[in-house]
Amino acid sequence: MPKMPLGVVLSVGEGLPDRLRRIGEAGFKTMQLVSPPKEWLAEPKRAELKELIGDSGIRVTSVAAVYEGESYADVAAVRATVGLLPEETRAARIEDTKKCADFTHEVEAPNISSHIGYIPEDRADPTYCGLVAAVQEICDYLQRRRLNFCLETGQESAGLLKQFIANVSRENLKVNFDPANMIMYGTGDPIEAVEVLAEWVRGVHCKDGVWPKAEDRLGEERPLGQGEVGIERFLAKLKQIGYEGPLTIEREISGEQQMLDFFAAKKLLDEMKAKLGIE
Ligand code: MG
């Protein structure tokens, strides 16, 4: 496997066989899957999905746990609905994460990734303590299946995330680094942030975006190379910190345009990797 093999984030649904065939033909070697909807986790669709993945020859590097009822419309919506932060859904979502872990283990992927929601800055905040306990419970369950739990970056600064990881204190707690999120949530320069988090990074999203235009808004996502991440200097920094894991292209749209953007991003990344001597 080459260093920093390219992959894409794919959701599970009708049309998956065709998309798998096309990304395989395009030369992608890895993928992250968005956690399958309930009907795909039940038989007979579960077996069908595993067969599709196995036959594709594309390695699953992570399954992203997403939860019913999440909204990324603006800052208030994220705060109210995303991840393990909302107390009323926390217990159920921990159980959903465990079910996702069982599936992840069956497809021989090493990581689950997730947005857990905004981590409070105050360590004495009961919500902070609740999040620590929730992530500890998930990490302990995953540990028995030799899986890492990767926190998706963006909703807090790298420094706060590093402190949170220390407080959770679990060996299998890692990071899926998304440079565009750092910008879209306005939480810091991604190049500086990836250096702070270097030792925990097990996955990287190749995604682009622009800074927010107002305090309560999120910045907008853009096709790779058309935002403010600076993808080439980001790749150069990954090389410098010794990262050799997958580069997973994420595009938060669906349909044919998403596929076309995957292919365009792959061309861009292949060129940059060659230029930077990453092979
Ligand atoms: Mg991401």
pLDDT tens digit sequence for 146-167: 999 999 999 999 999 999 999 9
Res 216: pLDDT: 87
Tell how far the Cα of 249 is from the centroid of ligand 1, in angstroms: 9
Would you say 111 and 176 are in contact if contact means Cβ atoms under 8 Å apart? yes
Q: Are 104 and 112 in contact (CB under 8 A)?
A: yes
- What separation in Å is there between the alpha carbon of 246 and the centre of ligand 1? 13
Query: What pTM did the predictor assign?
Result: 0.97
Q: How far is the CA of 87 from the centre of ligand 1 (A)?
A: 23
Nearest to 194, CA basis, from 203, 34, 186: 203
- Residue listed under structure tokens 């407080």: 167
| pLDDT attached to residue 1 | 74
- In whole angstroms, what is the distance from residue 130 CA to residue 135 CA? 9
| Domains of the chain (ranges, CATH numbers) | 6-276 (3.20.20.150)
Q: What is the pLDDT of residue 172?
A: 98
Would residue 235 be called left, alpha or beta, if left means φ above 0 and alpha means ψ between -120 and 50 degrees? alpha
| Contact between 162 and 188 (Cβ < 8 Å) | no
| pLDDT tens for each residue of 4-46 | 999 999 999 989 999 999 999 999 999 999 999 999 999 999 9
Extended strands (E) in the chain:
6-10, 30-34, 59-64, 111-114, 148-152, 173-177, 201-206, 208-209, 221-222, 247-249
Please write the tens of the pLDDT for every residue from 81-94.
999 999 999 999 99
Q: How far is the CA of 169 from the centre of ligand 1 (A)?
A: 24
CA of 117 to the centre of ligand 1 (A): 13
Please identify every stretch of the chain with a pLDDT value under 50, giving residue numbers as ranges: none
8 A C-beta contact, residue 29 and residue 1: yes
Q: Residue 209 C-alpha to ligand 1 middle, in angstroms?
A: 11
How many angstroms separate the alpha carbon of residue 204 from the centre of ligand 1?
Answer: 8
**CA 91–ligand 1 middle distance (angstroms):** 24
* Distance between Cα 180 and ligand 1 center (Å): 8
173 closest CA partner among 206, 155, 192, 147:
147
pLDDT in the model for residue 14: 87
